[in-house]
Amino acid sequence: MTLGNLKELYEILLKEQGPSEWWPADSKEEIMIGAILVQNTNWQNAARSLANLKALTNFQRKQLVALRQPEILEAIRPSGFYCNKSQSLFEVLHWFAAWQFDYKTIQAYYGEDLRKTLLQLRGIGEETADVFLLYLFDQPIFIADSYARRLMEHLGLPTLPTYQSLKRLVPAEMKNFTIAEAQDFHGQIDEFGKVWFRGGKRFEQSFLADFSLLVEEGKDE
């Protein structure tokens, strides 16, 4: 069966898996930190570092910004790459603090240049920048992470070796998704990947095995 767009794929994932409740956090600041900590590691390790930071700050903005980099480094050791990540967290937190964590004002100021600006922050690559856009700035952005690329390849798209290779095939903003749906869609894909792309299970045994996806380059959803 051919799916005509990403929304149809999302609706099947939601029906089969239920709401993903992703991103798991109580504040945008916790999401921001988690998005950096989960780079090049699994969520379990990132969650241990998040727990350490919560014990120190309860994710209160003033307490987060008051942390010195060595304190951050010690707290986030479980997530690995802690030297680089501590530097990134320190600088990113202070960048947002300069704007008083006012995400609407930041978005209004930078407009279409917001993603480019985020990419200039230390340790923020394409995937993390898109996570920020989706979960901090509430833009319906598609996250072309490794699970998404593997899923799209199984659904009939060409080989997608890089983040940009998939981003070129899908619209930057999914116009027929609500913000909540776009945020859940990322979680749905990752939950599917954790089940069907790990632990010996095979895509051919999944509920999506008989589906293919039709995506036209540059087509608005």
Tell me, yes or no, if the two domains 2-21+141-213 and 28-136 fold the same way. Answer: no
pLDDT (0 to 100) of residue 66? 97
What per-residue confidence (pLDDT) applies to 199?
76
Q: Which residue has the tokens 């930190």?
A: 33
On whether the CB atoms of residues 189 and 154 are closer than 8 A, the answer is no
Fold of 2-21+141-213: Endonuclease Iii, domain 2 (1.10.1670)
3-state secondary structure of 99: coil
pLDDT beneath 70: ranges in the chain: 172, 216-221
Is the previous residue joined to 23 through a cis bond, with omega within 30 degrees of 0?
Answer: yes
Cα–Cα–Cα angle for 54, 122, 124, rounded to 5 degrees: 75
Domain ranges of the chain: 2-21+141-213, 28-136
What are the phi and psi torsion angles at 12 (to 5°)?
A: -70, -45
Structurally, at CATH architecture level, domain 28-136 sits in: Orthogonal Bundle (1.10)
